[in-house]
């Protein structure tokens, strides 16, 4: 959905470590990070990735959006993400807003 709406998407697959997210952002210069979690036990890693972005001094240069079955808008707020959407259509609108593209 993001790709057909003009975003260049790098899909890192599943079981992605915080270090792998950081390395890919450095490699590509990505402006937007999307993280999905299927389980409450893995959604905590979203918080850890945001912490590591802060520790690396990268947080001001990238917008972060989160989603997935157990993820909520309040979780996104709690961990300091920039946004949450509940489905793929919402994710595109959110991505456009975060990038200042309207939509």
Q: How far is it, in rounded angstroms, from Cα 42 to Cα 85?
A: 18
As beta bridge partners, residue 84 has: 66
Q: Whose Cβ is closer to ligand B12: residue 23's or residue 88's?
A: 88
Shortest Å distance, C-beta 4 to ligand B12: 14
Question: How far apart (Å, rounded) are the C-alpha atoms in residues 98 and 91?
Answer: 10
Instruction: Answer yes or no whether residue 36 interacts with ligand B12 by CB under 6 A.
Output: yes
Instruction: Please tell me whether residue 53 binds ligand B12 under the rule CB under 6 A.
Output: no
Tokens coding 95: 């991505």
- Indicate the residue among 50 and 66 with the shorter CB distance to ligand B12: 66
State the first-to-last Cα distance of the chain, in angstroms, to the nearest integer.
14
| H or E element in which residue 14 lies | none
Task: Say whether residue 81 binds ligand B12 (CB under 6 A).
Answer: no
Q: Which two tokens stand for residue 99?
A: 């990038």
Per rule CB under 6 A, is residue 3 in the interface with ligand B12?
A: no
Return the residue of 20, 70, 73, 78 that touches ligand B12, per CB under 6 A.
70
Chain residues binding ligand B12 by CB under 6 A are: 34-36, 38-40, 65-70, 85-88, 91, 94
């Amino acid at each position: 959905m993001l790709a057909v709406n003009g975003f260049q998407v790098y899909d890192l697959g599943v079981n992605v470590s915080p270090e792998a997210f950081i390395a890919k952002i450095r490699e590509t210069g990505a402006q937007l990070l999307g993280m999905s979690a299927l389980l409450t036990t893995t959604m905590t890693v979203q918080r850890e990735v945001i912490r590591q972005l802060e520790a690396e001094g990268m947080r001001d240069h990238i917008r972060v959006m989160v989603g997935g079955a157990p993820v909520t808008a309040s979780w996104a707020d709690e961990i300091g993400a920039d946004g949450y959407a509940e489905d793929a259509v919402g994710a595109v609108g959110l991505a456009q807003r975060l990038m200042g593209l309207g939509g």
